[in-house]
Chain A
């Protein structure tokens, strides 16, 4: 059960980050969001 919740939380965070990346940001901010998003997305998708 806790494992499912863990992945749900990560997936929600990844979606919120994805919405953030769609907003107008400057280059370093985009790189920062991407760095966090990639890590969250890889875990949410069970790739890593």
Chain B
């Protein structure tokens, strides 16, 4: 048996044991990714390779900066009470479909800004969920609403953690770690969000409020609108307009919100909301780096490169996507996230954001589908939904998710002709 197989076996064994023992607890996943990296370098007889373990996260640093800035901005809006007042306005919309769609976009907004579905659950999802509970809506229906909003928010642009993870697989091939994903993500997610709203309009429009909503504070509202304008202009006109990127927009907006009454303490707490997913991202970077250093990636290339002729690379990518989703049910995110980056490796120089977006769906679905330690667990725990069941809560998402999967496969198969989506 080649040494590289043994190294891979040790790394995966540590991770699988860790995930099983901790019931896929997210904060432990980062710790076990780190331990698996150490175990891998030890198994390869290289000692504890601090250099690779520390260097790995730097592949994700710039994208993580945007994630952190987005989380900072969202957290400050939430802690200033802006989100609660905004929800009041959304719930006073009269049309059922429009109210349902706006509610989903409201819940998903922190996910759009930061790329983290968990942030949606912790902030806007919590606000909406508590209101739904107060109106006596069943736990299962609350779970459907919050999980749907958080999942589609995560997959919508500008920031999308699964796409950030997948783009790492292209290494330095893409112009920067995470650029050009706005339109591909929008084209992928928007039809699914609309289908989900249409199919579940009754459930999603249960929450409503009569009477006049509270007035929104002027400065946070102005900052909020300006950030949206900046994100849309830069996202839709990437090739023509550059105003500093998402990170700068979120950061300046956050500074203004801190001075508008948010305070430094709120900024500290807001950033903490993003720490565990970002730690998972960074430790995944270490895991990938150690797998490259010890030759695991080399063996993978050796096995897949002969297949790269005759269009069989696509088959490798699709198979890895399918394995990622299947593993996601049992082991939540870490291993699927690793496989998603490896799915991008074979195309290397040929990677474009459309193909990478398609592949990233597998990581997103792995988080959604996880029976333990996924989006359902996070939502049920945060909102204390004791009567919500995993199957019942995810069933309404089945058709929209199948549509997303179909669109993802189309993006993987026809990524090159679709490259006009990269604005």
Residues of A near any B CB (own CB < 8 A) = 2, 5, 9-10, 12-13, 16-17, 19-20, 23, 28-29, 31-33, 35-36, 38-40, 42-43, 48
Contact = CB atoms under 8 A, between A and B. Distances in A.
24 contacts: A9-B65, A9-B247, A9-B251, A10-B65, A12-B251, A16-B72, A20-B272, A20-B275, A23-B268, A28-B28, A28-B31, A29-B276, A31-B279, A32-B27, A32-B30, A32-B31, A32-B279, A33-B275, A35-B57, A36-B278, A36-B279, A36-B282, A39-B54, A39-B57
Contact of B268 (A19, A29, A42, A48): A19
B382 to A, nearest CB: 16
Chain B contact residues, majority secondary structure:
helix
Contacts, number: 73
Contacts of B64: 36, 39
Chain A contact residues, majority secondary structure:
helix
Interface string B21-63: 0000101101100100000000000000000001101100100
Contact of A35 (B30, B55, B268, B272): B30
Nearest to B279: A32
Interface of B: 25, 27-28, 30-31, 34, 54-55, 57-58, 61, 64-65, 68-69, 72, 244, 247-248, 251, 267-268, 271-272, 275-276, 278-280, 282-283
Contact of A32 (B69, B247, B275): B275
Contact of B34 (A5, A16, A35, A43): A35
Contacts of B272: 20, 33
Contacts of B58: 39, 43, 48
Given A9-B248, A20-B271, A39-B57, 4 more contacts: A23-B268, A28-B31, A36-B64, A40-B61
A35 B283 contact: yes
A31 B279 CA distance: 9
